[in-house]
Amino acid sequence: MTEKGVLIKMSVRAETPVQYTLNLNDHPVLMNNLIGQTIQIRFSGYQCLSCGATRKIFRQGYCYDCFYKQPDVGEWVIRPELSKAHLGLEDRDLAYEKEAQLQPHVVYLAESGGAKVGVTRKSQIPTRWIDQGASRAVAIVETPNRYLAGITEVALKKHISDKTNWRRMLKNEQSGMDLMEIRKRLLDFVPEEARPYILSDTLRETHIDYPVTTWPSRVVSLNLSKTPEYSGTLSGIRGQYLMFTDHTVFNIRSNEGTVIELTWPG
Ligand SMILES: [Zn+2]
């Protein structure tokens, strides 16, 4: 079968293992069913996720103009500490920012190729953890807005990474770190304003299993602008990465806005 459509991140269901669906042109493809099968990905252009223009994608699925206009990719998204909706101050669209920022947020600790801290809306748990390919995660604080979560993350990342080591994550290299122990140690560094929101230490870690048959010993990232046509046998999925038996990995998330033709048997 062949389906053509613009890439957006796979939707996930938190089952054991995680269930991944790629929606191509509103045609849902349950990717778990394709593991062990040979599939083909063919580059077929670009389509901005906002204006639909077929111009090259600049970042996060948007063309250059849309990236600097769309409210959902303001700088506060990547840097939550810059959130200002709690002060009634607009970045690009105050109504949008109030909705997105003035809701419960969680600062968490996750193992994804090493221990890291991160911030997410509470409603995005465990989706956010799955999208990052975390094998384990635990919440640290739950704040009423994005700003407080942001300043907490800034304080904690002086003591621990805030980046996912995607190569280690895809090779399933586990640090074996004791997240609860690290969590306890980090609590000392939670800023004063966020301390009332520290969650009870009776919290348990969430464990996440991915549909992977064999883990690669090395990984090579597929770049469709250099390799416009790729065929390989899917060996698993973790985070937003498709993994193939020849060590190729393809990050759906970082290819949002790319139009592809996907071909699979059956
Ligand atoms: Zn656009």
Residue 185 structure tokens? 């140690």
Q: How many whole angstroms from 52 Cα to the centroid of ligand 1?
A: 6
Give me the residues paired with residue 211 across strands.
none
The Å distance, Cα 62 to ligand 1 centre, comes to 5
The two most distant CA atoms of the chain are separated, in Å, by: 58
- The reported pLDDT for the residue numbered 139 is 97
Tell me, in angstroms, the distance from the centre of ligand 1 to residue 63's CA. Answer: 4
Structural contact between residues 236 and 209, judged by C-beta atoms closer than 8 angstroms: no
Q: Note the residue count of the chain.
A: 266
- Give the C-alpha separation, 60 to 253, whole Å: 8
Query: At 202, is the pLDDT very low, low, confident or very high (cuts 50, 70, 90)?
Result: confident
* Torsion 101-106-109-112 (CA) sign: negative
Could you report the per-residue pLDDT of 217-247, keeping only the tens digit for each? 999 999 999 999 999 999 999 999 999 999 9
| Sheet of 115-121, strands arranged across | 115-121, 105-111, 136-143, 206-207
Cα 87 to ligand 1 centroid, rounded to whole Å: 30
pLDDT band at 203 (very low <50, low <70, confident <90, very high): confident
Q: Ligand 1 is a single-atom ion; what residues have CB below 5 A from it?
A: 48, 50-51, 53, 63, 66
Q: What is the pLDDT of residue 86?
A: 96
pTM of the model: 0.95
Query: Which pLDDT value is given to residue 25?
Result: 87
3-state secondary structure 176-232: CCCHHHHHHHHHHHCCHHHHHHECCCCCCCEECCCCECCCCCCCEECCCCCCCEEEE
Mean pLDDT of 255-265: 97
The answer, yes or no, to whether residue 61 has pLDDT greater than 90, is yes
Is the pLDDT reported for residue 201 higher than 80?
no
